Amino acid sequence: LHDITERKRVEKELSMALHTALEASRVKSQFLTMVSHEIRTPLTAIIGIAEVLKETPLTLEQQKYVNVLETAGNTLLILVNDILDFSKVESGTLSLDQVHFDIRELVEKAIAAAAVRAGEKGLTLTVEIMPDVPSGIMGDPGRLTQILLNILENAIKFTERGEVVLRIKNNPDAKDDEGLLFSISDTGIGISEEKLNTIFDSFTQVDSSIRRKYGGTGLGLAISSRLVNLMGGRMWVESTQGIGSTFYFTIKFGSPSMDDPYII
Ligand code: ADP
């Protein structure tokens, strides 16, 4: 009898501790959401005004200052959006869309966005989508674009010469035919073996000199890998320093039915 009472007491304490932890996490997330929203509004105004100023006649020196203002504003906006996303995924308050979209169109748009930067660096950017990958799928196109752009932009950022290739095929390990396997390979600087373990943690950047050289918040992969988990998949990476990296992720998509609205 004593054992059972003791076990009940421990269970009750554990459940209360869990409740307190969840409540603390919810409050933290609410606070971060509020602060991020409050920062975003004036920041959008600052960036907007910088953009307007750029269109007015300016001296070379003034142009330089306005460019700094715009770049700093955009960097801060990315950071605020990342913090907002991260706190939402961590607290479990991020909800995913379930809409019908065309994966080939989505990839084409993401590639077009990344191609500018790749072109500036003289890198080849190619896509290979296996013919048996279904075009119409159900899922969250906005979040999938965010994941793809995060990994593609990293691949381009950390590659000085060579190529970046995005491949998509049906996931050979999926039990049903609703899983896709994405891989993004680059011929860039690669990631050391010890850093590979922490690359999906929040605020990791391989080292501070890399941070100074390439910028970034260190939240992109933490958010992307958690989004992939929410989509029923997983993300991993293989990399050799000086040779390049390949990021992989799987996602489970539903098949659309006739009455699902078509988005893009
Ligand atoms: P960031 O915003 O800093 O790019 P990420 O979470 O997207 O944050 O990436 C974390 C770190 O992982 C990067 O700062 C970089 O050091 C390393 N990394 C990510 N992708 C690559 C890649 N393709 N090649 C080499 N290093 C990479």
Taking only the tens place, the pLDDT of each residue in 19-34 is: 888 888 778 878 888 8
Going by their DSSP bridges, the two strands 124-129 and 163-170 should be labelled as parallel
> What's the pLDDT tens digit per position in 163-183?
999 999 998 887 766 799 999
CA distance 202 to 211: 14
Residue 260's pLDDT band, with cuts at 50, 70 and 90, is low
148 pLDDT higher than 70: yes
Ligand 1: lining residues by beta carbon, under 6 Å: 150, 154-155, 158, 186, 188-191, 199, 204-206, 210, 216-222, 245
> What's the pLDDT tens digit per position in 68-89?
999 999 989 988 988 888 888 8
259 pLDDT higher than 70: no
Q: What is the pTM of this model?
A: 0.81
- Amino acid of residue 214: Y
- Ligand 1 centre distance from Cα of residue 205 (Å): 6
Residue 93 · residue 32 · CB < 8 Å: no
CA distance 253 to 136: 10
205 pLDDT higher than 70: no
220 pLDDT higher than 80: yes
14 pLDDT higher than 60: yes
Q: Is 248 helix (H, G, I), strand (E, B) or coil?
A: strand
Residue 213's pLDDT band, with cuts at 50, 70 and 90, is low
- Ligand 1 centre distance from Cα of residue 153 (Å): 9
CA distance 2 to 158: 62
